[in-house]
């Protein structure tokens, strides 16, 4: 009986250790969560809500401007430095900052001829680094997540259009959610 309990504890500890290994990541593709927005210099375009797309969607504009008033900023990365992952290049990189501190980054890959290749490359690369994770497959999308106590990584593929990689500071994202909820 003691051996069985010991084996169960070892298995639980192993599973737990793999699930938390994302927390040990210092950066993804050179981008470190918690970095100050000033670190990216002139390579950021901060979304203001005055762009044409927002002028045509008043509810989105209101929501974005509310976030800005609360210290939450969305920015599009205009540089080239963090776009390449092996042979694949992100079409867009979006950052989210809270009070100047990076808490979420999202890379979007839009090469439709190489969607599955891009997706598999990301899965292989991050499974090697952070351990395997369960893939969820649906009719029009698939995803894999690595959830830690302080960091989160997701590889997501919309089978019709793009592959997205998301890296997020879990604790700061929860704080941002609380700020947004309180402001309603």
The reply to whether 103 falls in a domain is: yes
Judge whether 16 lies within some domain. Answer: no
- Whether residue 7 lies inside any domain: the answer is no
Reported as a pLDDT band with limits 50, 70 and 90, residue 108 is: very high
> Is 12 among the domain residues?
no
Question: Which CATH number is 52's domain given?
Answer: 3.40.1000
pLDDT tens-digit series, residues 155-170? 999 988 999 999 999 9
Mean pLDDT of 56-74: 95
Residue 9 lies in a domain: no
Is 83 inside any structural domain? yes
Q: pTM value?
A: 0.85
Whole-angstrom CA distances from 182 to 67, 97, 177 are 12, 18, 9
Nearest Cα to 125, choosing from 26, 29, 15? 29
Burial of 176 (0-12, 13-18, 19+ CB in 10 A): buried
Average pLDDT over residues 36-42: 96
In a domain, 22, yes or no: no
* Domain extent for 160: 28-182
- Is residue 100 in a domain? yes
Residue 112: left (phi > 0), alpha (psi -120 to 50), or beta?
alpha
Q: How many domains does the chain have?
A: 1
Position 16 scores a pLDDT of 43
């Amino acid at each position: 009986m003691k051996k069985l309990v010991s084996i169960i504890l070892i298995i639980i500890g192993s599973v737990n250790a793999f699930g938390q290994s994302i927390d040990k990541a210092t950066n993804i593709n050179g981008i470190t969560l918690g970095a100050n927005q000033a670190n990216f210099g002139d390579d950021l375009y901060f979304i203001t809500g005055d762009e044409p797309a927002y002028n045509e969607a008043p509810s989105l504009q209101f929501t974005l401007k509310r976030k800005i008033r609360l210290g939450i900023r969305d920015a599009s990365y205009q540089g080239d430095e963090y776009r390449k992952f092996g042979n694949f290049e992100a079409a867009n990189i979006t950052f989210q900052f809270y009070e100047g501190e990076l808490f979420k980054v999202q890379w979007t890959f839009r090469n439709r001829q190489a969607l599955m290749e891009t997706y598999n490359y990301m899965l292989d690369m991050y499974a090697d680094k952070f351990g395997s994770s369960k893939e969820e497959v649906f009719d029009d999308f698939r995803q894999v997540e690595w959830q830690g106590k302080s960091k989160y990584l997701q590889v997501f593929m919309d089978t019709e259009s793009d592959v997205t990689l998301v890296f997020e500071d879990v604790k700061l994202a929860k704080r941002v959610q609380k700020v947004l909820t309180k402001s309603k």
